Structure 1
């Protein structure tokens, strides 16, 4: 469904943000893109959704293909029409509108009211809390409810692929577990492909089938989620580690990630 081939992105014609990034998301797949702050995760998503231009970024090499079409030259509205939707980091809901109006704002222009009502009820089925607070201004919702609204708003566009940028940001572990379970349910019930960007590698690897690890703007590892979970470097640097070094009993300690060695 989605293929990035050797993509490079430059900001302000100077700063190389991502270099030679290649990844794939198949139809109905759930794929995670993992990495630390500043690794290039959000830039990769903005490259796919077409949101680089407002931040003075541009693709200088490579291709982004969605449903067999190179979309590098296409604007964000066309990409949404094709079924590609991006839930931005930090939720970015319309705080002065109600949840109901937020969902309405995302529905395509010229669509039927019947279909609008069907999609809205579908969102409220996944997120009952939003229905309870449908007439409250969205800015007064809790962080978890706002994240639910951001995902629900994306579903109003009837996506084929939904990209989620740090959906766990600022949420409690229980709420993260709940939202990730709903994302998995959407994937399984509706067949919507998911590209999940996360710093919370442990939670992400629990629900995805395949994962990529990005560092310093480049993909350094990819494979089945279980294989990455068992990798000792991923365990130490991204999953909290299983073995701790007793620095009192060693004279010199130097541990490097194997892919940098």
Structure 2
């Protein structure tokens, strides 16, 4: 793990997802009993093919299922010991949980600074907001360099950094990221993960990410869960998951980003289902 603290492994979980099921339109069972923990200050990945239930799990945690006609129909989700299921998404943010959705979704007509300010409605201390902006620009120097440009003119990597930086303006205890490496070059992926290491180390922010780039994710996190067909089929230390021969064959692809079309047709015996 290198820079990421390993002390978190023995800490009480900041997030506990206990045997949840998620149903869409009262018909389609998308998540079929997922359980996972994220330790205080921990860094955890959810891995798996498209459609496995990873993004749905994040939306169940952040409370963003309702607009998609989804609902948690079984189990519980506890954050810092408090059940989240009765809380709306803004209340979950106020507790210290923030979700960066796939696709960046920055305010393209605003500058990076204005994007950051837009996330501070919960902060009444103007001096405190300035300090948060300064801290974010320190973590993301590319954004400081482009502070006066319209966000729509930023590169894909810079927009991803802005989406993450905007989420960090809420001062979260847990940062959830959905596909932060999507569409980015390997160098930009490395840069973003290096920044997340710094955020984790300096601010103690726990990280839960969904990622199809399994090789990059397993080099970044300290714990990982493999989701298959709506279920967690493997979980443990990142090194242990990475060493599993079936994970190597199906998800690591010799160290390159996974070809999930090939994974879909993977027919070898999978030890995690044995």
- SS of residue matched to 2:198: helix
Residue of 159, 178, 181 corresponding to 2:191 = 178
Give 1:63's aligned residue: 76
Checking the alignment, whether the CA contact within 8 Å between 2:96 and 2:172 is kept in structure 1 is yes
Structure (1 or 2) with the larger CA radius of gyration: 1
The answer on 1:51 being equivalent to 2:76 is no
Q: Map 1:92-107 to 2 at 5 A.
A: 92-107=105-120
Checking the alignment, whether the CA contact within 8 Å between 2:123 and 2:129 is kept in structure 1 is no
For residues 63 and 217 of structure 2, the distance between their equivalents in structure 1, rounded to whole angstroms, comes to 24
The answer on 1:37 being equivalent to 2:50 is yes
The answer on 1:238 being equivalent to 2:259 is no
- SS of residue matched to 2:253: coil
Per-residue deviation, 1:259: 2.7
Q: Map 1:208-227 to 2 at 5 A.
A: 208-227=221-240
Residue by residue over 1:2-29, the C-alpha shift from the partner in whole angstroms, topping out at 9 and shown as x without a partner, is: 0000100000001001011000001010
Distance 1:254 1:50, change over 3 A: closer
Give 2:8's aligned residue: none
Give 1:245's aligned residue: none
For residues 31 and 110 of structure 1, the distance between their equivalents in structure 2, rounded to whole angstroms, comes to 28
Aligned residues: 251
Distance 1:134 1:56, change over 3 A: same
Residue by residue over 1:93-135, the C-alpha shift from the partner in whole angstroms, topping out at 9 and shown as x without a partner, is: 1111111110000013352111000000001001111111111
Residue of 133, 144, 161 corresponding to 2:174 = 161
Checking the alignment, whether the CA contact within 8 Å between 2:180 and 2:211 is kept in structure 1 is yes
Give 2:258's aligned residue: none
Give 1:250's aligned residue: none
Q: What's the TM-score, normalizing by structure 2?
A: 0.89
Give 2:131's aligned residue: 118
For residues 91 and 138 of structure 1, the distance between their equivalents in structure 2, rounded to whole angstroms, comes to 11
Which shows bigger deviation, 104-113 or 4-13? Answer: 104-113
Per-residue deviation, 1:241: 4.4
Give 1:133's aligned residue: 146
Give 2:10's aligned residue: none
The answer on 1:257 being equivalent to 2:270 is yes
For residues 16 and 96 of structure 1, the distance between their equivalents in structure 2, rounded to whole angstroms, comes to 38
Q: Which runs of 4+ in 1 moved over 6 A?
A: none
For residues 59 and 182 of structure 1, the distance between their equivalents in structure 2, rounded to whole angstroms, comes to 33
- SS of residue matched to 2:182: coil
Checking the alignment, whether the CA contact within 8 Å between 2:21 and 2:74 is kept in structure 1 is yes
For residues 110 and 234 of structure 1, the distance between their equivalents in structure 2, rounded to whole angstroms, comes to 44
Give 1:84's aligned residue: 97
Q: What's the TM-score, normalizing by structure 1?
A: 0.94
- Give the alignment's Cα RMSD to 1 decimal: 1.3
For residues 165 and 58 of structure 1, the distance between their equivalents in structure 2, rounded to whole angstroms, comes to 19
Distance 1:257 1:127, change over 3 A: same
Residue of 22, 26, 30 corresponding to 2:39 = 26
Residue by residue over 1:113-170, the C-alpha shift from the partner in whole angstroms, topping out at 9 and shown as x without a partner, is: 1100000000100111111111111011100000000010011000000001100000
